[in-house]
């Protein structure tokens, strides 16, 4: 079985949204291995000096027997177009190896990334959850997500976004889409105009 991973954003030495990473790691260990623990990544992660300035990515690689960490400088990719890809893929846990998602990503053509549609409803991109701005200016996130992202959980709890059922047929009722994940917040990127989301059919 592939190792699991938690990807944590470090801002000038501070671990962001760590509570939500602890929750997901604990939940994952229980559902996959039957291990009941309260993960405490703040005690596990010692940020090295080279990761204490600017934005850095901490990858915690783990299974039921081991935990290792790596620290990588991070630059946000600018995504300006998405290709809609239909798939019945299931991806409820964050694994290191993502062969099925990578195979879907390879279908993007000239677009920067993909928007996965499952049973007619929006889910995620290849590496992030998504949020969409409706015509009243409110941000909605698909209730039919694939992976329960930590940034998504944080934004839902804060009330900055709301869950909604978003069929592909209603995409035109939104003005723009943003990608969010542990490393990318709402304010970190420009929105992708809905016109730049290309149907892959």
Is 102 found in the same domain as 189? yes
Domain count, the chain: 2
pLDDT at 150: 98
Q: What is the pLDDT of residue 155?
A: 98
pTM over cut 0.75: yes
Same domain, 25 and 49: yes
pLDDT tens digits, one per residue of 122-133: 999 999 999 999
Same domain, residue pair 88 and 152: yes
Tell me, yes or no, whether 106 and 68 share the same domain: no
Q: Which two tokens stand for residue 137?
A: 């200016």
pLDDT tens digit string along 22-66? 999 999 999 999 999 999 999 999 999 999 999 999 999 999 999
Residues 194, 102 share a domain: yes
Mean pLDDT value across residues 152-179: 97
Confidence tier at 1 by pLDDT (50, 70, 90): low
Burial degree of 33 (CB within 10 A; 0-12, 13-18, 19+): middle
Same domain membership, residue 195 and residue 152: yes
Output the pLDDT for position 201: 58
Q: Which domain holds residue 185?
A: 82-199
Q: 129: domain CATH number?
A: 3.20.10.10
For residues 65 and 117, membership in a common domain is answered with: no
What proportions of the chain, in percent to the nearest 5, are helix, strand and coil? 25, 35, 40
Q: Which of these three, 13, 41, 73, is where a domain ends?
A: 73
In contact, 26 and 33? CB cutoff 8 Å: no
CATH number at residue 39: 3.30.470.10
């Amino acid at each position: 079985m592939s190792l699991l991973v938690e990807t944590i954003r470090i801002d000038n030495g501070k671990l962001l949204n760590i509570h939500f990473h602890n929750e997901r790691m604990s939940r994952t260990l229980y559902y996959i291995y039957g291990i009941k623990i309260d993960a405490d990544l703040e005690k596990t992660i010692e940020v090295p000096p080279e990761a204490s300035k600017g934005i850095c990515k901490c990858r915690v690689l783990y299974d039921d027997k081991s935990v290792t960490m790596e620290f990588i400088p991070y630059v946000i990719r600018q995504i300006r177009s998405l290709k809609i890809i239909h798939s019945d893929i299931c991806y409820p846990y964050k694994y290191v190896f993502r062969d099925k998602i990578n195979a879907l990503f390879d279908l993007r053509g000239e677009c920067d990334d993909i928007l996965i549609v499952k049973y007619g409803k929006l889910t995620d991109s290849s590496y992030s959850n998504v949020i969409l701005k409706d015509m009243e200016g409110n941000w909605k996130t698909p209730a039919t997500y694939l992976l329960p992202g930590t940034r998504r959980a944080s934004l839902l709890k804060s009330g900055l976004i709301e869950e909604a059922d978003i069929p592909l047929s209603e995409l035109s009722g939104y003005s723009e889409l943003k990608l969010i994940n542990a490393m990318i917040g709402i304010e970190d990127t420009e929105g992708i105009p809905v016109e730049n989301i290309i149907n892959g059919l």
